[in-house]
A and B are shown apart, each in its own frame.
Chain A
Amino acid sequence: METSKITGDRIREFLEKGKRFDDRKPEEFRDIEIELGVSKKAEGSARVRIGKTEVIVGVKMDVMEPYPDSADKGNLIVSAELTPMSSERFESGPPKFPAVEIGRLTDRAIRESKFIQMEKLCIKKGEKVWAVYIDIYSLNDDGNLVDAAGIGAIAALKSAKMPKYNEETGRVIYGELTDKKIPLSKDIPIVITAYKIGNFWLVDPTTEEEDISEARVTVGATPEGIISSIQKGNSRELDIEDFENMIDMTEKVRKKVFSTIEKSLD
């Protein structure tokens, strides 16, 4: 069901007083819970809850030919599916744009931050490299699936163990994991999306807040403030100064989010 106008008006009235329906401040996240190793068959997996929003993310690995423009680097393939079970708004069938976008935003935050050390995933230059598949599924949508997907992808990657590889056959031996982790760097990209409603920016919206927001900006960056990806969404123009203030705001939020999830990632 779409959010009604009367609910939207009420959300705006609340924001004028700096308030939200669930008593949060505009720049405050809901509680984040991370559960690791939720799928035994996956090389790494995580279930992330942000309030009532929930996603499950799995990492699988395979050995394949590298792409021609990165002959000595591993491959990263990220996909997202908005499952019909997670909201009455989602239908089965080939992925529509919202799912494609979540996959691509997660992909770019991870790829551009160089979080995965792709050069260490090369087995034989130009012939065989490791491929890392990150697959994201929504389990329950109550807004902000994008940020949940980003956290889930990081958590799943950090928890993953490389599978065994048979050099003679050139194939992966599934079901037998090594103790080796996926080579990761210290630059952990955390995706934070800011949503504009009227004159206000807020983060981690519920579905109702998400519905009435007029613009959003997704920013992937490390807690240290190195930005690796940005994408503006929706049709409302933004003042340059307002945009800059929003970037500063997401930096603060990111530090806070990271400090609350840091422990659950190890």
Chain B
Amino acid sequence: MTPKVFKRPDGRKPEETRPMTAKVGVIPNADGSAMFSFGDTVAIAAVYGPKKMHPQHSQNPEKGTLRCNYNMLSFSVSERARPGPNRRSMEISKVTEWALEPVLMIDKYPNMVVDVHINILQANASTRCAGINAAALALAHAGIPMKEMVSSVSIGKLDKNLVVDLIKEEEDFEEGEGATDIPITLTTGGKITHIQLDGKINSKELKEVLKLARKANKEVYEVQKKALKESIKF
């Protein structure tokens, strides 16, 4: 018997991401900026710096500091989100820093800070992944030296089926084993710089998830690469 193919609410195949778009240079004032979207999930990121870290006691003489700030616009979700930081956004800001820092040659900028501001304009799940993808592009656009790119995508387990790039409706899936959401960020070389998981899964399934993430991340990377190339005018 061939296994029944799992039907996704928007008709995508299990391993199919939503249409991705990326554009570099969307905020003229910033030193680097980019937009990245997975379908209806749209993130923009702007980089300011490297610049002198203030206050002075926050300076690190050994290496520069990466400071990310993830923010959801109040009208980016169905029920208006309270403006300003909350515990969730604090955490996402921090994991975004951790996701980006391994590829960033920030040690070249002692006593300096690089600010990355991420705003979610429109949310339909996977916002942190879109934010990280936009931020990585914006950092490259700002000319901060990077060893390689990072690309982020969410893998989901809906009941027993693995799918790529969750939408909100899938995040709220309740049948069988319910939904497990696993945002993963990998370097171009395939190393993990960020992973989170919420749901229920065993270690065997988790290994499958990582395989799938590697494949999907390559697709994200191609979109990022294309956007960066397009931003260069001869």
Q: Which residues does A use to contact B, with CB under 8 Å?
A: 68, 97, 100-101, 103-104, 108, 112-114, 217, 225-240, 243-244, 247-248, 251
Known: A235-B97, A240-B192. A247 touches B203 (CB 8 A): yes
Docked pose: A234 CA to B197 CA in angstroms: 16
Known: A232-B192, A235-B102, A240-B210. A225 touches B94 (CB 8 A): no
Q: Give min CB distance, B30 to chain A, whole Å.
A: 23
Instruction: Collect the chain B residues with CB atoms within 8 Å of residue A114's CB.
Output: 200
Instruction: Collect the chain A residues with CB atoms within 8 Å of residue B196's CB.
Output: 230-232
Instruction: Collect the chain A residues with CB atoms within 8 Å of residue B169's CB.
Output: none
Total chain B interface residues with beta-carbon distance under 8 A: 32
Known A230-B182, A239-B192; further 13 A-B contacts with Cβ < 8 A: A97-B94, A108-B198, A225-B202, A225-B203, A227-B200, A227-B206, A232-B194, A235-B98, A237-B191, A238-B191, A238-B193, A240-B192, A247-B206
Instruction: Collect the chain B residues with CB atoms within 8 Å of residue A251's CB.
Output: 203
Chain A's closest residue to B191 (CB) is A237
The answer to whether A230 and B91 have CB atoms under 8 Å apart is no
B145 within 8 A of A: no
Known: A100-B90, A225-B203, A227-B201. A68 touches B79 (CB 8 A): yes
Instruction: Collect the chain B residues with CB atoms within 8 Å of residue A235's CB.
Output: 97-98, 101-102, 193
Q: Give min CB distance, A95 to chain B, whole Å.
A: 8
11 contacts between A and B (CB under 8 A): A97-B91, A97-B94, A100-B90, A104-B91, A112-B198, A235-B101, A235-B102, A236-B102, A237-B193, A239-B192, A240-B191
B143 within 8 A of A: no
Task: Pick the residue among B101, B193, B197 that contacts A227 (CB under 8 A).
Answer: B197
Known: A227-B202, A235-B97, A251-B203. A103 touches B87 (CB 8 A): yes
Q: Which residues does B use to contact A, with CB under 8 Å?
A: 79, 87-88, 90-91, 94-95, 97-98, 101-103, 182, 187, 190-203, 206-207, 210, 214
Docked pose: A135 CA to B98 CA in angstroms: 27
Task: Pick the residue among B91, B193, B200, B206 that contacts A101 (CB under 8 A).
Answer: B91
Instruction: Collect the chain A residues with CB atoms within 8 Å of residue B199's CB.
Output: 112, 228
Instruction: Collect the chain A residues with CB atoms within 8 Å of residue B79's CB.
Output: 68
Q: Give min CB distance, B109 to chain A, whole Å.
A: 15
Q: Give min CB distance, B47 to chain A, whole Å.
A: 17
Chain A's closest residue to B148 (CB) is A237
Instruction: Collect the chain A residues with CB atoms within 8 Å of residue B197's CB.
Output: 227-231
Docked pose: A227 CA to B199 CA in angstroms: 8
Chain B's closest residue to A113 (CB) is B200
Q: Give min CB distance, B107 to chain A, whole Å.
A: 11
The answer to whether B94 and A248 have CB atoms under 8 Å apart is no
Q: Give min CB distance, B159 to chain A, whole Å.
A: 14
The answer to whether B87 and A100 have CB atoms under 8 Å apart is yes
Docked pose: A65 CA to B103 CA in angstroms: 46
Docked pose: A112 CA to B193 CA in angstroms: 23
Chain A's closest residue to B181 (CB) is A112
Docked pose: A238 CA to B186 CA in angstroms: 9
The answer to whether B98 and A240 have CB atoms under 8 Å apart is no
Docked pose: A261 CA to B152 CA in angstroms: 38
Known: A104-B87, A243-B192, A248-B203. A229 touches B102 (CB 8 A): no
Chain A's closest residue to B213 (CB) is A240
Instruction: Collect the chain A residues with CB atoms within 8 Å of residue B203's CB.
Output: 225, 227, 244, 247-248, 251
Q: Give min CB distance, A173 to chain B, whole Å.
A: 31
Q: Give min CB distance, A263 to chain B, whole Å.
A: 26
The answer to whether B87 and A230 have CB atoms under 8 Å apart is no
Docked pose: A122 CA to B182 CA in angstroms: 29
Q: Give min CB distance, A175 to chain B, whole Å.
A: 31
